[in-house]
Structure 1
Amino acid sequence: MPPRVSGLLAAMAMLLATPLCGRAAEIDTEHLFGFMLGSDVGRVGEREIQFQTTGRLSRAGGNYRALSQDIELEFTPAPDFRVELGTRFAAYAIRGVPGLDDRRQLGWQGVSVDLRYRFLDRDSAPFGLTLAVEGNTSRIEEGAGMPARSTGAEIVLALDRELVPGYLVAALNLLYQPEWTRLTGAMVTEREATVGVAAALLAQPRPGLLLGGEARYLRSYDGIGLREFSGDALFIGPTAYLQLSERARLTAAWSIQAWGHRAGAGGALNLVGFERHQARLIYGINF
């Protein structure tokens, strides 16, 4: 891991652990972040529908654009436990990218189930702590957009703390994403995994508006055992959260690959395994 990344993450961990005066204020971290998770899981009986649009742009050479639209239903059936059911549509416009077939398509991609359990609540503990486990299945390979049968998971440990109650919140995520993919017509199932760590800091200049940024360091591997390193990347970018009304909210985030490299290759960026730009817009409403 680059020294700058490890230094940033160590500083975030110290902030999360440092005792501060005052009680946690009314900041709900469940939907604050664009590419990360907060530890809050909602109140018992709460129901929400969420529309998440993600764009991934620019790879090595040629033109690369991938857009996904997730529709997710969330509900909290018991204290500290949240369930999310989702479906995804995806669009690809790929032309002249080395190693990828030219492709222009739009279609239904797959479904997912996300379960979250909060072990620590910020109101009664030094920080919030939640474990999120998502399972998904897909008929379109995510990177190249090729027809496939893919099964994957995302396991995230989310920590957060209000450094200044009601004004400044910090978060830390640790993630592991294994995936099994068999392209249509292929005889072999490809196995790969991504691990990462992410940190965020957001401030609330006025009620219902939070501004800040997220930094994510991701490492990819061939195989799910994390033995064959294939590349890594560091993403940094701004995040904004706006409470539109008592029931509606909007989150916007943009990340740019600031550093990365591919195993066995030089250069300051990894545009084979990761995109140059990632953007996300999330609209949610309670009902």
Structure 2
Amino acid sequence: MTRTTEPVGPLSAAAGVLLLLLSAPAPVLAAPGGGPGTKSEPATDQGGARESGKGRSRESDSSSKTDDGKDVDTEHLFGFTEGADAGEKGEREAVVDTVSRIGKRRDGPGRSAYRVLDTRLAYQFNPIDRLSLELSAFGTLRRQRNILDLDDKSYGTFDGVSLEVKYQFLKGSKEQPFGLALEVRPRFTRVLPVEGRGADIVDVESLLQLDVQVVPDKLWYGSNLSVEPAAGRERGGPGYRSSTFLWSNALVGRVGDNTYLGPEVRYLRGYEGAFLNRLESEALTLGPALHHRFTEKVWLTVAYAGQVWGRDTDPALAGRSLGLNQFERHSLRVKFGMEF
């Protein structure tokens, strides 16, 4: 807050300095040998915090969260990959998570576009240690034009809600570097994720999360295994069944006091049928992941994933590169969070 003050004249300033010097307490000198005159208590600031303990307090409250490897929160450290940390009782967090999905095969000559912006607003809280509950609401913006097997569409709409339940079995530290958690994410969605047509779909993603401190306080590895079946019905249309398998891996290192950067690779398989029945597409993506903490409570994660290999099983697409039937050429994730 900026305060407005009146200008002070030279005589008033001199009088103020003289009054301050006269009112200041005389220094206490230490008696030789630690006698009765020795001042054993360190000086305190206006808030009553001891100067010698002040640095230690700050270190334990904030620096250890970023400078001490065992206290780095790995949950949002790896980009698209999720870390195993789940938090402690009473912790709360608000998150804005946006994933942009860009690029599919064009259908004939002319300009084409496929851009989908999926945004999630989430509130997370911990009723007990190592258990987190997260409530989310989704919105989507979509523009698709001249794309193979897809209708031209351009709109924005509300896209459902979800509940995420996560329990952490192991918490990583310098002494025990492995973190392990299981997360279940039931979700109701109103839009088919690829086609963009209206629907009523329920999917349940089960996600196994592992992270390891490869080099304490310097290098972390994260890995996820995920299976996501989905079932429902298009509005005014047929039933819908699909499923996805995901294996993602990230390796990030500390590149600054509160900044972490490294590569991330993901392998995805998309199926027709809710139980991994018939393979339709597979893709391998690669890109960087960046995580930065502005303060102890405010952070940002940015990650890019581009297809470097893939294929579709449709015979009509034999010999075509990349798996674009179920997945996109490019994905960009921007996730901003605040803990309180």
- Output aligned runs, 1:10-159, within 5 Å: 25-61=70-106, 62-123=112-173, 125-159=176-210
Q: What is the rounded CA distance, in whole Å, between the counterparts of 1:271 and 1:184 in structure 2?
A: 24
Q: What is the rounded CA distance, in whole Å, between the counterparts of 1:24 and 1:167 in structure 2?
A: 7
Question: Residues 21-43 of structure 1, C-alpha deviation per residue, up to 9 Å, x if partnerless?
Answer: xx953221011122111000112
Q: Closer, same or farther in 2 for the Cα pair 1:202/1:145, shift >3 Å?
A: same
Question: Do the aligned partners of 2:228 and 2:245 also contact (CA within 8 Å) in 1?
Answer: yes
Which protein is bigger by CA-based radius of gyration? 2
2:4 aligned partner: none
Matched, 1:251 2:304: no
1:17 aligned partner: none
2:23 aligned partner: none
Q: What is the rounded CA distance, in whole Å, between the counterparts of 1:210 and 1:284 in structure 2?
A: 16
Report how far residue 203 of structure 1 moved.
0.2
Q: What is the rounded CA distance, in whole Å, between the counterparts of 2:79 and 2:151 in structure 1?
A: 30
Q: What is the rounded CA distance, in whole Å, between the counterparts of 1:195 and 1:272 in structure 2?
A: 15
- Output aligned runs, 1:223-242, within 5 Å: 223-242=273-292
Q: What is the rounded CA distance, in whole Å, between the counterparts of 1:109 and 1:193 in structure 2?
A: 19
Letter in 2 for 1:130: A
Report how far residue 181 of structure 1 moved.
3.2
Q: What is the rounded CA distance, in whole Å, between the counterparts of 1:33 and 1:282 in structure 2?
A: 11
User: Identity over the aligned pairs, expressed in percent?
Assistant: 34
Question: Do the aligned partners of 2:183 and 2:208 also contact (CA within 8 Å) in 1?
Answer: yes
Question: Residues 55-92 of structure 1, C-alpha deviation per residue, up to 9 Å, x if partnerless?
Answer: 00010112100001110001111111111000001010
Any idea what SS the aligned residue of 1:116 has? strand
Q: What is the rounded CA distance, in whole Å, between the counterparts of 2:87 and 2:129 in structure 1?
A: 9
Q: What is the rounded CA distance, in whole Å, between the counterparts of 1:52 and 1:193 in structure 2?
A: 22
1:177 aligned partner: 228
Matched, 1:276 2:306: no
Question: Do the aligned partners of 2:69 and 2:218 also contact (CA within 8 Å) in 1?
Answer: no
Letter in 2 for 1:33: F
Q: What is the rounded CA distance, in whole Å, between the counterparts of 1:30 and 1:171 in structure 2?
A: 10
TM score, norm. by length of structure 1: 0.89
Higher relative contact order (CA 8 A, sep 6+): 1
Q: What is the rounded CA distance, in whole Å, between the counterparts of 2:94 and 2:242 in structure 1?
A: 31
The structure where helix makes up a greater share of residues is 2
2:57 aligned partner: none
Question: In the comparison of the two structures, how many residue pairs are matched?
Answer: 264
Q: What is the rounded CA distance, in whole Å, between the counterparts of 1:83 and 1:33 in structure 2?
A: 20
Report how far residue 142 of structure 1 moved.
1.3
Q: What is the rounded CA distance, in whole Å, between the counterparts of 1:130 and 1:285 in structure 2?
A: 22
TM score, norm. by length of structure 2: 0.75
Any idea what SS the aligned residue of 1:180 has? strand
Letter in 2 for 1:286: E
1:5 aligned partner: none
Mean alpha-carbon deviation: is it higher for 34-43 or for 264-273?
A: 264-273
Report how far residue 44 of structure 1 moved.
1.5
Letter in 1 for 2:339: N
Q: What is the rounded CA distance, in whole Å, between the counterparts of 2:192 and 2:332 in structure 1?
A: 19
Question: Residues 214-270 of structure 1, C-alpha deviation per residue, up to 9 Å, x if partnerless?
Answer: 110011111122231111000110010010112110000011011000013222311
Report how far residue 119 of structure 1 moved.
1.0
Question: Do the aligned partners of 1:29 and 1:39 also contact (CA within 8 Å) in 2?
Answer: yes
